[in-house]
Amino acid sequence: MFKFNFKQFIQILSDNMIPLYQPKSRNYEESIKSLLSLQSNASTMTSWINERKFNKAESEKKLRDELVQCIDIMDIDLGKQQVIHVAGTKGKGSTCALTESILRNQGFTTGLFTSPHLISPRERIRINGQEISKEKFSQYFWMCWDKLITGPHGQFNLPFFRFLTVMALKVFQEEGVNCTVLEVGIGGRVDSTNIIPQPVVTGISSLGYDHMNVLGNTLAEIASEKAGIMKPGIPVFTVPQPDEAMQVLKSNSEKVGSPFSIVPPFEGTLSLEGDHQRENASLAIALANCFCIKQNSKPISTIYNQNQNYTLYNYAKNNYNIDYFKPLPESFIKGLSTCQWPGRAQYLKYSDKLELYLDGAHTPESALVCLNWWKSVVNKDGASSNENQQQSQYILMFTCTGGRSPKSFLQPFIDAWKNNEIPAFTQILIPEFDDTLKHITPHSVNESPLTWEKQIEQVFNQLLDDANITPRPKIVIEHIQSVIQYCTNQSKSSNIKVLSTGSLYLIGGLLKSIQGDE
Detail the residues annotated as belonging to a binding site.
Answer: 115, 183, 211, 344, 359
Question: Largest Cα–Cα distance in the chain?
Answer: 69
Binding residues for Mg(2+): 115, 183, 211
Binding residues for ATP: 344, 359
Q: Which residues contact 11 (CB under 8 A, 6 or more apart)?
A: none
Distances, alpha carbon 210 to alpha carbons 90, 372, 434, 477, in Å: 9, 20, 24, 26
Closest CA to 395 of 296, 487, 460, 326: 487
- The Cα–Cα gap between 330 and 211 comes to 38
Residue 396 backbone dihedrals phi, psi, to 5 degrees: -100, 115
Closest CA to 342 of 134, 470, 500, 232: 500
* Helix spans in 263-381 (H): 277-294, 300-303, 330-338, 364-379
- The Cα–Cα gap between 28 and 323 comes to 48
Q: Which residues contact 37 (CB under 8 A, 6 or more apart)?
A: 18, 19, 20, 21
- The Cα–Cα gap between 244 and 114 comes to 27
Contact, 156 vs 20, CB < 8 A? no
Encoded amino acid at 9, one letter: F
